[in-house]
């Protein structure tokens, strides 16, 4: 297959832990050809089709200079998206206006015959914090609001809470407020911007000490191992970007129940890959933009998540 990866700049990849790199490596091992671009490289003009300035690359196996760019003429550099066998959308959050616009360009490319994974409309329809609202049976006490009084009431009821912005990533902007309510008013003002911005508030789950588990779902099926991201030091956040320690472990019965219940629903909507975050027995987020942890799970368990992903990708392209 001729694959196009839409991602962050290749020079920014930390290949020892990057899941997109793991996908590329497995795809090339199977003989598929690789190209890459950034969202800014995609455009459309009336009378034409959605196209991208795509770099044809091959992986070298070297840890420093990990790819080489294949020679291309100016005409070859510009490719219509429909001419790729599959497009893998792997741009990292935040899901800002530019990301939103990119999904519309990709949806137009789909109308022209392109096959995009994850589907652009599904990316828009599943904001990573709010997607959990559809599955209340799996989540803990949660409030989504702009109203400061409602947040204070939620704190009064649950006594120990987590507050976070809806557009954060990697643990950014997350606050814990305990029984004393210290700084709750100031935190609310910071996050809701005097009522202009919506905030998610959740009951604090003490099971976080055992880790914030990333349960990967590929083609509707949970991967047998998850990565528990365990907070370190005085941190309440388990996110690897916030210094959490990643420990791979087999899925618990509850993890599997969650993955088997939610996974097929997401897959039917065009989400080939999703990452369900679970603390204790409760789902806290559903990540669909660029779920990670492939390499950490493989390094610690031997479970080849990238191979599972490319298996599902090949099947999805054949079925499309």
Q: Which of 229, 239, 255, 296 is catalytic?
A: 229
Q: Which of 237, 239, 255, 296 is catalytic?
A: 237
Sign of the Cα torsion 100, 167, 3, 267 reads negative
Output the pLDDT for position 176.
95
Model pTM score = 0.94
152 an active-site residue? no
Output the pLDDT for position 320.
82
128 an active-site residue? no
129 an active-site residue? yes
User: Phi, psi at residue 213, to the nearest 5°?
Assistant: -85, 130
Output the pLDDT for position 220.
98
| Alpha carbon distance, N-terminus to C-terminus of the chain | 14
176 an active-site residue? no
287 an active-site residue? yes
Q: Which of 91, 128, 214, 255 is catalytic?
A: 214
Q: Using only C-alpha atoms, what is the Rg of the chain? A: 20
C-alpha distances in Å from residue 194, one per residue of 48, 146, 176, 198: 45, 8, 19, 10
Output the pLDDT for position 72.
85
Structural domains in the chain plus CATH codes: 2-117 (3.40.50.20), 141-204 (3.30.1490.20), 207-319 (3.30.470.20)
18: Cα separation from own chain's centroid: 12
269: Cα separation from own chain's centroid: 16
214 an active-site residue? yes
Q: Which residue bears the tokens 């814990």?
A: 176
**Average pLDDT of adjacent 10-residue blocks, the chain of 320 residues:** 98 97 98 98 97 97 95 85 98 92 98 98 96 98 98 97 88 91 95 94 96 97 97 78 89 98 98 98 96 97 98 96
């Amino acid at each position: 297959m001729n694959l196009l990866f839409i991602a962050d700049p290749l020079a920014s990849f930390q290949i020892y832990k990057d899941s997109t790199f793991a996908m590329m490596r497995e795809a090339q091992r199977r003989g598929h050809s690789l190209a890459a671009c950034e969202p800014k490289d995609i455009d459309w003009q009336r009378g034409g089709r959605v196209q991208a300035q795509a770099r044809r690359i091959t992986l070298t196996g070297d840890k420093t200079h990990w790819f080489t760019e294949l020679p291309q003429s100016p005409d070859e550099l510009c490719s219509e998206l429909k001419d790729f066998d599959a497009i893998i959308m792997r741009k990292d959050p935040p899901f800002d206006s530019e990301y939103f616009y990119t999904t519309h360009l990709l949806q137009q490319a789909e109308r022209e015959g392109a096959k995009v994974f994850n589907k652009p409309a599904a990316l828009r329809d599943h904001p990573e914090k709010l997607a959990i609202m559809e599955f209340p049976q799996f989540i803990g006490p949660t409030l989504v609001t702009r109203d400061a009084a409602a947040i204070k009431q939620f704190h009064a009821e649950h006594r120990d809470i987590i507050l976070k912005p809806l557009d954060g990533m990697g643990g950014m902007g997350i606050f814990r407020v305990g029984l004393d309510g210290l700084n709750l008013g100031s935190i609310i003002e910071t996050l809701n911007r005097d009522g202009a911005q919506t905030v998610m508030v959740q009951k604090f789950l003490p099971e976080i000490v055992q880790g914030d588990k990333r349960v990967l779902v590929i083609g509707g099926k949970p991967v047998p191992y998850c990565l528990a991201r365990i907070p370190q030091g005085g941190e309440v956040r388990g996110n690897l970007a916030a210094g959490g320690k990643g420990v791979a472990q087999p899925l618990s019965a509850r993890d599997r129940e969650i993955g088997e219940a939610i996974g097929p629903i997401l897959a039917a909507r065009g989400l080939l890959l999703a990452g369900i975050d679970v603390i204790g027995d409760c789902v806290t987020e559903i990540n669909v933009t660029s779920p990670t942890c492939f390499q950490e799970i493989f390094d610690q368990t031997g479970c080849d998540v990238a191979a599972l992903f490319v298996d599902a990708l090949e099947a999805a392209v054949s079925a499309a």
